[in-house]
Amino acid sequence: MNPGARLRAPGTGETFRPVPSPRSPVPRGFTLIELTVVLAILSITALLVMPRLFPRDDAALTSSARTLASTLRYLQQQAIATRTNYTMKFKFPDGTITVKSLSESGNEGVAGESPLRERILAEGVSVDDLVLNSLGRVNEGEVSVRVGMEGFQELLTVHLKSRSGTYTVIAYPVSGKVRIEEGYRDATL
């Protein structure tokens, strides 16, 4: 009932304003339960929205490790399917990765497939070093890794880094298996 409403007395037609009883106070605010429910809803919403507004570095690092592993697998499959040799170039100190196709004469060309031309590492993520049996640990200059119809010729270990940590991507020769591990790991056959 509206507190300012006027009522008619039955039979007389007179109007009067009802006086609230001391046992039924007029509501003047929110209850503690209502405020608690609203705060809980706002907190849950903030927890869901904040990671999207401020992405974390470890998400970019994880995504880059997965993208590199997928690119390595795809590169092996493409080399077999198209009977084309490829080379992955790891450039230090900027830590970038590019993929080129190799002609039969050994000349490099642009990799024709779209996934091989895309950026492999996210912003803020770079190659810390890579390990090959023939070269050992390399973290300076430029290293080319050949991928042919037989897959990788030797065990390849790539360490990715960002401000939030390190991931290791390992590509095994012959089997074509590619594994991702959190942290800095050394791989063996």
Looking at residue 114, its pLDDT comes to 52
DSSP helix/strand/coil, 158: strand
Its sign, for the CA torsion 36, 42, 46, 47, is: positive
Looking at residue 115, its pLDDT comes to 55
Looking at residue 37, its pLDDT comes to 95
Cβ pair 3, 27 in contact under 8 A: no
Bridge pairing between strands 96-102 and 108-110: antiparallel
CA-CA distance, 127 to 88, in Å (whole number)?
A: 13
Looking at residue 50, its pLDDT comes to 80
Calculate the alpha carbon distances from 20 to 2, 6, 16, 59 in Å. 11, 13, 13, 60
CATH superfamily of 57-182: minor pseudopilin epsh domain (3.55.40.10)
Domain ranges of the chain: 57-182
Residue 48's φ and ψ, nearest 5 degrees, are -80, -35
Looking at residue 43, its pLDDT comes to 93
Cβ pair 185, 168 in contact under 8 A: yes
Looking at residue 100, its pLDDT comes to 83
Parts of the chain with a pLDDT under 50: none
CA-CA distance, 180 to 157, in Å (whole number)?
A: 10
